[in-house]
Amino acid sequence: MPDRDTDPRLVLIKHSVPEMQIQMESRFWSLSEEGRRRCAPLADKLRRFELARLVSSNEPKTVETAELMASQLSRSHVVRPGLQENDRTGLGFIGADAYCETFRRFFSEPDRVVVGTESAGEARDRFAAAVEAVLEEFPDETLGIVTHGAVISLLVSDPSSEDRFRLWRRLGLPSYVVVSRPSLEIVEEFYGVA
């Protein structure tokens, strides 16, 4: 693989490791110390794409991931609406097996609200519109969007619920999926920094 890749791309970046605080909803979590540490090696992996800028959702863990990587890459960072994770209001803290099963259902029943107030289909439509708005705002640039695993999987995976679930499971904290512009076809997947 070449050291640099200068074709215009979109790099969809899953945020780094959050500090899980079971007394609050995950949309309010910030990065853990380990999560902050992992941002530098991820930025090094992304350097070859020569990202023009980083864009993130407004959730603290994505803002912090984007700011740390933007600093490492000497790039700007902006927050844009609609790039947040699927709504998980009321989910609470559940064990790993129950969490996994909840999201298997989320992907397999895209027209039904499985968790929170938003179905998988609604989350995909909202996220796709937000990504399109970012691409229109920054045409012909290679961009990094720091966001979340479920919405990344909904946007770029084949429509099969099993494909979307499988990608969601593989995406580590942090990780990324590179897609072509404007077709959003997957070019490369990187499953995580340890």
Instruction: For 90-106, give one letter per residue: b (16+ CB within 10 A) or e.
Output: eeeeeeeeeeeeebbeb
Q: Check if the beta carbon of residue 8 is closer than 8 Å to that of residue 139.
A: no
Side chain identity, residue 148: H
Residue 177 lies in a domain: yes
pLDDT at 75: 98
Q: Which amino acid is at 50?
A: E
For residue 170, being part of any structural domain is answered with: yes
Give kind and range of the element (H or E) at residue 60: helix 60-73
Which range, of 28-32, 64-68, 90-94, 131-135, averages the lowest pLDDT?
90-94
Give yes or no for residue 2 having a pLDDT over 70.
no
Number of Cβ atoms within 10 Å of the Cβ of 170: 15
Structure-block tokens of residue 110? 């895209």
Q: What is the rounded distance in angstroms from the CA atom of residue 26 to the CA atom of residue 92? A: 8
pLDDT digits (tens, 9 = 90+) for 69-127: 999 999 999 999 999 999 998 887 788 899 999 999 999 999 999 999 999 999 999 99
Three-state DSSP class for residue 178? strand
Q: End-to-end distance of the chain based on CA atoms, in angstroms?
A: 21
Residue 1 lies in a domain: no
Domain at 154, CATH number? 3.40.50.1240
Q: Tell me, yes or no, whether 173 lies in a domain.
A: yes
Query: At 1, is the pLDDT very low, low, confident or very high (cuts 50, 70, 90)?
Result: very low
Range of the domain at 70: 9-190
Whole-angstrom Cα Rg for the chain: 16
pLDDT tens figures, 25-45: 889 999 999 999 999 999 999
92: tokens are: 């609470």
Structure tokens at 8: 């215009």
39 SS3 class: helix
pTM of the model: 0.94
Number of structural domains the chain divides into? 1
Q: Dihedrals φ, ψ of 58, to 5°?
A: -90, 5
Confirm whether 50 is domain-assigned.
yes
**Left (φ > 0), alpha (ψ -120 to 50) or beta: where does 27 sit?**
alpha
Per the domain annotation, does 167 fall within a domain? yes
Do the beta carbons of residue 152 and residue 14 sit within 8 Å?
Answer: yes
